[in-house]
Every structure is written in C-alpha cells, then in structure tokens.
Chains A and B, each alone.
Chain A
Amino acid sequence: GAVVSQHPSWVICKSGTSVKIECRSLDFQATTMFWYRQFPKQSLMLMATSNEGSKATYEQGVEKDKFLINHASLTLSTLTVTSAHPEDSSFYICSARDQLYTDTQYFGPGTRLTVL
C-alpha cells in the first residue's frame, strides 16, 4: 500500500527555536497534503491543507505565521513551527492524498514535538 513518512519521528527543542517537520509520500505523488495536530488523549484537529505549488489553506484559529507550510514538490510538504513555545508541544501528523490511483488519504506515523 501507499506509504507516507515523517521526519523526524520525535524532536525536543528549546523555547524560541524553530523546528521543521517533513512529510513525504514515498510511492505516489500528492498534490494535496494535510497537517493535523493531536494533543495527548485527544482527537486529531486539522491545521492546514497544503497544496503543491500554492499557498496552504489554514483552518480557523491556526496562525499561519507560526506554522509555516511549504509544499514545493509532489512528494514533500514541510511544516515549520517558528519560535516554538511549550504550548506547541504536541503530536503532529500529516496525510497525503493519492489523487491519481486510489483517491485516498494516507497518514504518516506522526512527529512528537516537545518544547522545553
């Protein structure tokens, strides 16, 4: 089946630094990728929709200057958490849509971010 990877799988950083998370579709091209956030013992909440070659669409209440999304190729989207603070600590999960063959979203394994 289709595989989506995320890197890193976990990261610890100091408050005030920026962290970049990569989401890759390994065996298919994805014009659309999605970024979700999951707090401990809670559900996934969509943060933004990432479209290859254009600006991301952010959900209401998500700061676009805080969470920078770049989707520069058909297999890679990145989420950069800028000037991270402890409240940004969370599990970040991406998904990628295989529009060409299965028209299905496939989820990555997630990245756990801890901001000290």
Chain B
Amino acid sequence: GNSVTQMEGPVTLSEEAFLTINCTYTATGYPSLFWYVQYPGEGLQLLLKATKADDKGSNKGFEATYRKETTSFHLEKGSVQVSDSAVYFCALQRSSASKIIFGSGTRLSIRP
C-alpha cells in the first residue's frame, strides 16, 4: 500500500543551522508529494509540494526535490530561525481526488 516514512524527532538545532528532515515514500504510480507544517495549537499549512519526478518545491527558504529513483522527498533549509519551530509532515497523494497520506511528523525546535 501507499505509505510515508519520515525521520523521527524531535530535532533540535541552533538558529542559522542547516536543516534536513528525511522523507521516503512507497506508492504505485506517480503520486504528488507535500510538506505540511503545523505550528503549536494550529491546523496544517501547506509548505511546499511537487507533482512529478525531479520537481523542486520551495517556499520560505525550504526546499524539497521529488526523487523517483530513491523514492524520497527530503526537506531542507539552509539557515533555520526560531520561528521555524513546528511539526513538519511529509505526505503523498495518488491523485487530486484521493486522500492525503501523512507521515508520522517530525517536531523541530530551534534554539536562539
């Protein structure tokens, strides 16, 4: 079946550090891939997405590249800020009409 596996947290970094959160997926066909962010006490916000192989999604300094050969969609940011502290979810969707399948989430804490 379709599934998403992402790096377990929590992840704690100092401000301005480089961030990588690993995400791999299992799916038939060519799913769309997403990263969502959830700030404390809030709902989900779409951070970025990619719909086909080799696409790079980017937003707010975050990037992720859809790698079909490694079935991965790792999230990266060159210099994190305290305000990036949140829970990050990797997710996939087989088609626009289907449900979104989420990974377990990675809690990120940034120290000043």
Contacts and interface: CB of A to CB of B under 8 A. Distances in A.
Interface of A: 6, 32, 34, 41-46, 49, 93, 95, 97, 99, 103-110
A43 B103 contact: yes
A109 B105 contact: no
Interface of B: 36, 42-46, 89, 93, 96-97, 99-105, 107
Contacts of B36: 107
Q: Chain A contact residues: over half helix, strand or loop, or mixed? A: strand
B39 to A, nearest CB: 11
Given A43-B89, A44-B89, A109 B43 contact: yes
Contacts, number: 45
B99 A34 contact: yes
Q: Chain B contact residues: over half helix, strand or loop, or mixed? A: strand
Contacts of B100: 34, 46, 95, 105
Contacts of B101: 46
Chain A CB within 10 Å — which of B43, B46, B107 has the most?
B43
Given A34-B99, A43-B103, A107-B46, 10 more contacts: A43-B89, A46-B100, A46-B101, A93-B43, A97-B97, A99-B97, A104-B46, A107-B43, A108-B43, A110-B43
